Amino acid sequence: MLVFAQMHATHLSNPLEQVKIMRIGNLLTMFATVCFLSVCFPTAEVYIHPWLDMVEGLALGSFFLLLCDYVSPHSEQRDVFFATKRKNGIRWFKTRLFLIFQMPLVAFLVAIATTITQAVGVYCQWSNAPRFANIWLRVILTVSLVSSVIAILQFYMLLKVDLAKHRPLAKLTAFKLVVGLTLLQEVVFMILTTQDVLGESRTLTYADVHIGIPNLLICIELIPFSLFFVWAYPWSVYKDGDGRGNFSKLDQAVKPTNAYQGGPFGIRAWLAMLNPSDNLRAIAFVVSQSSRPRRSRVAVGSYGSQEVLYSNSYQMPSQEPSRETRDGYLQHA
């Protein structure tokens, strides 16, 4: 996955889309890292594994913003685009945005609560008894996750025709499949352990059965998942002259002179991927909307790259064009 991300970084012809793709792919990298650390340090698994849910929420958010860029890359036209798609389209878009970006916030709070309750001895990772925090935190996280996924699917169904050429279901499946299989694997291991089919022995400890083997299997399963992800998000379409390439940043008045904008060894792309500003602003929007009275209308243009909620993390080198050049380009854009 690091090689895949590096290929996007060194062929960064469309920063608006490719930086988000790199962030989505980061979910598989984090899954492999956390599962490997869980095998090596089983006592730390209860503390580090919940953070994967927050990474998953951020990946879903980046995927949603990527779909928005596919159908309406210019933020100033986005309110018009969604307003024509359905009745109350702007409010509908705002609601989907809220449902999707509430998950990383909820997952963050659940991860903090897990650490605290485990430290004070009231979490109990392997018990579903209501007197322990485990079951309640899992319910909260599940409701949040289901709401987020439903919002993504509703967004896809509304824009199915517009998104057809981008294979959105394949792209969603590429990173959600590992999450779904992980959940299925947990159920299978729970059945095997409760039915005494798999248990402790002279060669297997409790940590091996409940932590080591499941996480080791996930590490192995991530190999074919990574190959599928590379197929679903190919970097080759962003090669100069191959379709999706040679796109400028939305708030940049003139097109870039260089075909690839990632800088030496793609360093600018990597820095942009690590910049969480757009996700943080989206989460801040969720917090602000949950604490203020409901408004009658919201301008979807405010989710664009020049507004508070959603700004592109990728920053081009400053080059102020002349007014004549700016006006001429905007007239032809």
| Beta carbons of 118 and 202 less than 8 angstroms apart | no
Average pLDDT score over residue span 247-256: 45
Longest dimension (CA), the chain: 79
Q: Could you say which DSSP state residue 233 is in?
A: S
Share of the chain above pLDDT 70, in %: 77
Query: Does the pLDDT at position 318 exceed 80?
Result: no
> How much is the pTM?
0.77
pLDDT digits (tens, 9 = 90+) for 63-102: 998 988 888 776 666 666 776 676 777 788 888 889 999 9
Number of Cβ within 10 Å of residue 170's Cβ equals 13
Q: Are 48 and 266 in contact (CB under 8 A)?
A: no
- How much is the pLDDT for 110? 95
Domain boundaries, the chain: 19-234+277-293
Give the orientation angle of helix 213-232 with respect to helix 2-10, to 10 degrees. Answer: 30
Give the span between the Cα atoms of 10 and 203, in whole angstroms. 47
| Sign (positive or negative) of CA dihedral 208, 211, 214, 216 | negative
| pLDDT tens track for 256-285 | 556 788 888 888 888 888 888 778 887 887
- Residue 221 clears pLDDT 70, i.e. is over it: yes
What is the chain's mean pLDDT, rounded? 79
30 token code pair: 């984090």
pLDDT tens per residue, range 16-72: 888 999 999 999 999 999 999 999 999 999 999 999 999 999 999 999 989 888 887
pLDDT digits (tens, 9 = 90+) for 175-216: 888 888 888 888 898 888 888 788 888 888 888 888 999 999
Distance CA 184, CA 180 (A): 6
Whether the CB-CB separation of 156 and 150 falls below 8 Å is answered with no
Give CA 223 to chain center in angstroms: 20
Task: Give me Rg for the CA atoms of the chain.
Answer: 22
**Structural tokens at position 98:** 């809220």
In this prediction, residue 296 has a pLDDT band, given cuts at 50, 70 and 90, of very low
The pLDDT value recorded for residue 46 is: 92
